[in-house]
Amino acid sequence: MDGIRLDNPYLGNEEEKRRTLFRNNENVIYLENDSCEVFDITIDGCPCTPKFCGGFQYPRQSTQPKMLWGQIPEDCDILISHGLPADIFDTNSR
């Protein structure tokens, strides 16, 4: 359990409530392991981040984050993430 109660047993149906709230708001594009295109710019959102000093991250040995990061499109111009993706650090496509 983490200190702010974000472990899965405490989520209940809040995740679905959040998605429904954002889906019903035409002014919000909610990206959770998803992408969109705005003005010819591809934006992807991936909240996965490896565990570091507790909190609500995924265990470093878990395959789930690597699977999710593997779904980020190659043509992604902007990645919105909760932390650095695995093995990318500050590099870019150039």
pLDDT tens digits, 59-89: 667 777 778 778 888 899 998 887 665 565 5
The pLDDT of residue 9 = 53
Q: Which residue stretches of the chain are H helix?
A: 8-11, 14-23, 63-70
- Average pLDDT score over residue span 8-31: 72
The pLDDT of residue 47 = 78
Residue 2 — pLDDT band, cuts 50, 70, 90? very low
Q: Which residue stretches of 26-91 are H helix?
A: 63-70
Cα distance between residue 61 and residue 94, in whole Å: 29
Predicted TM-score (pTM) of the model is 0.59
What are the residue ranges spanned by the domains of the chain?
8-81
The pLDDT of residue 40 = 93
The pLDDT of residue 1 = 42
